[in-house]
């Protein structure tokens, strides 16, 4: 039987290697008590800043939701991991964007920025803000499943101009462009030599507009593509993440 897995975003208290009690946030407590039906004494796994750790439930209360667990082997600090790439993905059909959020969390993206580009389908921009909480839930569920220590940060939808303003001067990053030569440079951006805060920008089905590409070039971002085939936006985004993170 699979051990239930929960997520926790705080910092452990107590001495390394000693007993550590974790009081889970309300959303996780509600899920653990009402969905997983956890009881005191039940074993669980907790994905958090200390990695994936085994724990045991000590308090399970449904009104109000309250869930407390104790790490079985205490807290063993781990080296701080570098932040994952910042993925900026243009808004696409919701089932495909939802899937991309989940897989971006599994592949180690540090942040996800939904992009409101000139060539996205009508209506997506208006509805995007209402889906932000859903994307955060999907990202958190994916984090629990894969055991990554830190959550994927899902940002509010932004335009390319707003993204460049948030990125600041001289951002390190790449944007998908069908006109670019095939980009072997992606393969050398592994964890050992990846610039801090690397951006990966992927446009909608019609690609970025010439004006958007010109703005990216002016900001210092480089064009790239992934071989001779035309990929869906979510495929290109996840292939790039996999190359950058796993090389």
For the cut 60, the answer to whether the pLDDT of residue 191 exceeds it is: no
What percent of the chain lies above the pLDDT cut of 70? Answer: 83
For the cut 60, the answer to whether the pLDDT of residue 23 exceeds it is: yes
Q: What is the pLDDT of residues 37-94, one digit of tens each?
A: 999 999 988 877 666 778 889 998 888 888 888 887 766 655 555 678 999 999 999 9
* CATH class assigned to 5-71: mainly beta
Q: Can you give the residue ranges of every domain in the chain? A: 5-71, 86-246
Can you give the pLDDT at residue 175?
93
- Model pTM? 0.74
* CATH class assigned to 86-246: alpha beta
Residues 6+ apart with CB under 8 A from 235: none
Per CATH, 5-71 and 86-246 having the same topology is answered no
Q: What is the pLDDT of residues 92-140, one digit of tens each?
A: 999 999 999 999 999 989 999 999 999 999 899 989 989 999 999 999 8
> For the chain, what is the total number of helices (H) and then of strands (E)?
7, 11
E-strand stretches of the chain: 5-7, 20-23, 43-48, 51-62, 65-71, 86-90, 111-115, 153-154, 173-176, 199-202, 222-224
Under 8 Å between Cβ of 24 and 6: yes
- Of 78, 56, 55, 59, which is closest to residue 67 (Cα–Cα)? 59
């Amino acid at each position: 039987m699979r051990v239930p897995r929960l997520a926790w975003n705080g910092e452990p208290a107590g001495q390394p290697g000693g007993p550590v009690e974790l009081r889970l946030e309300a959303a996780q407590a509600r899920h653990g008590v009402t969905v997983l039906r956890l009881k005191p004494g039940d074993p669980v796994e907790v994905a958090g800043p200390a990695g994936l750790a085994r724990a045991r439930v000590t308090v399970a209360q449904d009104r109000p939701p309250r869930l407390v667990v104790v790490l079985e082997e205490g807290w063993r600090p781990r080296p701080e991991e570098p932040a994952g790439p910042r993925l900026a993905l243009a808004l696409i059909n919701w089932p495909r964007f939802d899937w991309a959020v989940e897989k971006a969390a599994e592949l180690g993206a540090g942040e996800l920025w939904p992009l409101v580009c000139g060539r996205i389908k009508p209506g997506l921009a208006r509805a995007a803000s209402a889906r932000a909480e859903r994307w955060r839930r999907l990202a958190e569920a994916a984090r629990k499943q894969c055991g990554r220590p830190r959550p994927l940060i899902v940002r509010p939808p932004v335009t390319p101009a707003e993204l460049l303003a948030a990125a600041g001067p001289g951002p390190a990053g790449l944007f998908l462009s069908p006109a670019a030569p095939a980009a072997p440079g992606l393969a050398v951006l592994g964890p050992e030599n990846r610039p801090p805060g690397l951006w990966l920008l992927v446009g909608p089905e019609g690609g970025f507009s010439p004006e958007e590409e010109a703005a990216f070039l002016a900001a210092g971002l480089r064009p790239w593509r992934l071989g001779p085939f035309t990929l869906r936006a979510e495929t290109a985004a996840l292939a790039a993440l996999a190359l950058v993170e796993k090389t």
